[in-house]
Amino acid sequence: MIRVAVAGCAGRMGKTLVQAIEEAPQLSLGAAFEHPGHSFIGTDAGALAGIGDKGVMISADPASQVDAFDVVIDFTIPEATLGLAEICALHSKSMVIGTTGLSAEQLSQLAQFAQQTSLFISPNMSVGVNLSLRLIELAAKALGDDVDVEVIEAHHRDKVDAPSGTALRIGEVLAQALGRDLDENAIYGRQGITGARDSKTIGFSTIRGGDIVGEHTVMFAGEGERLEITHRAHSRSNFAQGALRAVGFVHGKQPGLYNMQDLLGL
């Protein structure tokens, strides 16, 4: 039995993860965390998630709970993720990270922590999304510079970062497949008289509204035809199931950085 901790357990994704762990036969909820001062500190995490009391009280001090879990799942914010990763590195606890908005410097810090423990990082835990990344790579290599590429993503009104981590990952895949530099060729929105489109551009469009769980489309627009690869998430359960698969994958692994492409053998 793998004991799992959930960071950000009072949020929508956190509650979904607690529920999914309850249903997973090889997993058990070992600990649950929220930021200091949160109104649910001291509350039973199971009761909060609607599955009844589990005897796991929400804590603001992960360091005091390291003996209660083997792997922690974190879908919070970059600063909190880095602090938790440092604790995991010090105590040889594995970590599954779904946090988005991580900077290059923060990713570098995580890579340093991964020298001491196993870290699984993916901006999107959906199996479908990660299969889509492979399809996008194949399409980009096949179509090359004969088409224009655009990335369109949509999420709920409360998402704080834009473009999404998944959209940025799509951009990285496109840039690598097309032999381009994303920093030089990305455009994150257009307004006014922009002139004709540069053929090397990788465009991003962001939509925020309502309760949209997550949608990503890559448009390959050519002369006379257009290819679109789209993934739509209808609930957070697919992200939770992907995260639980990641828990089973990363638990017991040697120190290092792992991702969904490793898990899926892609």
Catalytically active residues, by annotation: 155, 159
**How far apart (Å, rounded) are the C-alpha atoms in residues 162 and 188?**
9
Residue with tokens 């509204």: 209
Q: Which helix (H) or strand (E) holds 28?
A: strand 27-33
Q: How many helices (H) and strands (E) does the chain have?
A: 9, 12
**How far apart (Å, rounded) are the C-alpha atoms in residues 143 and 130?**
20
Q: Name which of 229, 175, 221 is nearest 202 in CA terms.
A: 175
User: Do 41 and 14 meet the contact criterion of CB atoms below 8 Å apart?
Assistant: no
Q: Name which of 228, 17, 20, 230 is nearest 131 in CA terms.
A: 230
**How far apart (Å, rounded) are the C-alpha atoms in residues 251 and 77?**
23
